[in-house]
Structure 1
């Protein structure tokens, strides 16, 4: 679409990249989720199309608005509302002191309203977490990322597959039992707990221990600086037995929650017209132009698989040029993910899961990118680490060509 220019990349993953774009006519900002469909398995393609189906069914001030989608050069581009305050996870990370009860309940009320809208549409979110909850600078909540959402038919109220982010999985999912909307309520409780304590309700250094904690352990109590009503709301949501948990409608009726829901509904009423705009798709075809300067010319040629090779090997500067070529770099990272040995490992007697060794990455870069030596490979890897592509499991600042463990973001 020529009426847009790229502002910056907001994130990247195994399926593609998320880009912030600006409409030239009025400087309005939107998010485009660019997905490399040709590189996806049939299952992944189905997940992508499911997200679009879910987005098309939703229209709520506390849900990320969907404006349309289009195919371009084999990539699916999904155009969505931009929340300029980042994620709720980032909001928590930026906090220098505990959040006030008023702020927590305001955020929580908006989240409950968003989940209630999903459940009224017979949709389960199934991957609710602070990284999938977006915020505006005015602290209006926008629920997003519906790739794992499940639409329920009228014949059943249960979904069988156990999916989602481990820290937010409910006990019934950990035990492989059927679940319904009560699992979303558990995840809501996990988010509320995180808002009050800045940590996960249940934590462990490996997946089996985490599952055991979720199923059997009790969470550390919410600080007594918060009201009994708020602490009891957390307790209600985190009941081990789903039958003992409230549904969203019952949660909305809790007095302390109801009070902030009423306030929230008044505050977001002016957003309704913006949400209505999603029923008038104006993204149909074209290309997204970029405001970034093109990468400097180099002696890099591209092979059929999209990996750069040269007779002498690119320098670290050439690698950085690849970073600026968004589609090329995303495919490179995806190939790296598929080639490196990513598995559960032990580091300094502590178990970590889904990790790779620094030395394995250096070797892969030498074998696949034509980089001249290990020093240049280390420099390039450090640049990618600084850009947030991956991180050290202990949050170390430096990349090393060693047995140290790293994870992709």
Structure 2
């Protein structure tokens, strides 16, 4: 991968790198605005349907560009997307390291998982994930990035992750088996077109997931509505833990 050759309005600009150990660093342009994670969870920030579509389209354009360059993001999530006024910037592509989520335990390695992180991982990755596996052994792919986008698309509608209030072990099973996502898709009521995009991105079989080029077409066909989204609870429920 040659990040120096990446130039796109929706992708953070690579400016340089320091490769002299132990000082390893990548320098990028400064991202204005807030992370998409913060934007969607800000109750004072009203997101109408057209706005969520516009944000999604810009993410899709940026990701389509990266894939065309042969770059797999590996860690696409709302915290790695910045939103400023009417512009979206994708950051931290290709930099994922499993060491960042693995903590050395007293007896054995244990997974230290950031809150909500599992929801962005495709099931084929979750099934292979363990403290002893580094990222080179995990099946990251273009299709896995599309799955992660599906979770962002859900966040734009629901303002939260699809699986919440569950123990880590339960979340891993829900995603790895695909059962949790089936439950979410069965309960949401977002309209046919919006749900079709979710179902396509979250397809358990990676071969059935669309490309970002195909997603661009799907988003373009979404009906343009003028009404605003009501409180998320009126439309869907996340998969919640029931004791």
Residue equivalent to 2:102: none
- Give the structure 2 partner of residue 183 of structure 1: 144
**Alignment check: 8 A CA contact 1:85 1:139 kept:** no
- Tell me whether 1:60 sits opposite 2:8 in the alignment: yes
Per the alignment, residue 287 of structure 1 pairs with: none
CA distance in 1, matches of 2:12, 2:171: 30
Structure-1 residue corresponding to 2:209:
245
- 1:207, distance to aligned residue in structure 2 (A): 2.8
Could you tell me which of 158, 165, 172 is aligned with 1:211? 172
CA contact (8 A) 1:107 1:141 kept: yes
Contact kept in structure 1, 2:202 and 2:209, CA below 8 Å: yes
Kept in 1: contact 2:39–2:45 (CA 8 A): no
Cα distance change of structure 1 residues 66 and 212 upon mapping to structure 2, 3 Å threshold: same
**What is the DSSP-based 3-state SS (H/G/I as helix, E as strand, rest coil) of the residue aligned with 2:32?**
coil
Q: Are the structure 2 counterparts of residues 100 and 74 from structure 1 closer, same or farther at C-alpha, using a change threshold of 3 Å?
A: same
Deviations 1:131-165 (A, max 9, x none): 011122x231100012128xxxxxxxxxxxxx993
| Structure 1 unpaired stretches of 5+ | 1-52, 150-162, 261-349, 351-409
1:265 equivalent in structure 2: none
Q: Structure 1 CA distance, aligned partners of 2:192 and 2:166?
A: 31
2-side partners of 1:259 and 1:191: how far apart?
Answer: 17
Q: TM (normalized to structure 1)?
A: 0.42
Q: Is the 8 A contact 1:167 1:203 kept in 2?
A: no
Distance 1:73 1:123 in 2: 24
8 Å CA contact 2:60–2:212 kept in 1: the answer is yes
Q: Equivalent residue for 1:174? A: 126
Structure 1 residues 252 and 73: CA distance shift in structure 2, 3 A:
closer
Structure 1 contact 189–237 (Cα < 8 Å) conserved: yes
Query: Following superposition of structure 1 onto structure 2, how do residues 241-390 of structure 1 map, counting pairs within 5 Å?
Result: 241-254=205-218, 256-257=219-220
Structure 2 counterpart of 1:144 = 91
Unaligned stretches of 5+ in structure 2?
A: 98-112, 129-137, 224-240
Query: For the pair shown, which has the larger CA radius of gyration, 1 or 2?
Result: 1
The alpha-carbon deviation at position 206 of structure 1 amounts to: 3.2
When the two chains are superposed, the root-mean-square deviation of aligned CA atoms in Å is 3.1
CA 1:245–1:77 in structure 2 vs 1: closer, same or farther (change >3 Å)? closer
Length-normalised TM-score, structure 2: 0.69
| Higher share of residues assigned strand | 1
Pair 1:113–1:208, CA change in 2 (3 A): same
Using a 3 Å threshold, how does the CA distance of structure 1 residues 139 and 54 change in structure 2: closer, same or farther? farther
SS of equivalent to 1:67: strand
- CA offsets per residue over residues 284-304 of structure 1, 9 Å max, x none? xxxxxxxxxxxxxxxxxxxxx
Which one of the candidate residues 84, 92, 114 is aligned to 2:40? 92
The count of residues paired between Structure 1 and Structure 2 equals: 193
Q: By how many angstroms is 1:259 displaced? A: 7.4
User: 2:73 aligned to 125, 134, 140, which one?
Assistant: 125
Using the alignment, how far apart are the partners of 1:140 and 1:196 within structure 2? Answer: 18
Q: Which has the higher contact order (CA 8 A, sep 6+)?
A: 2
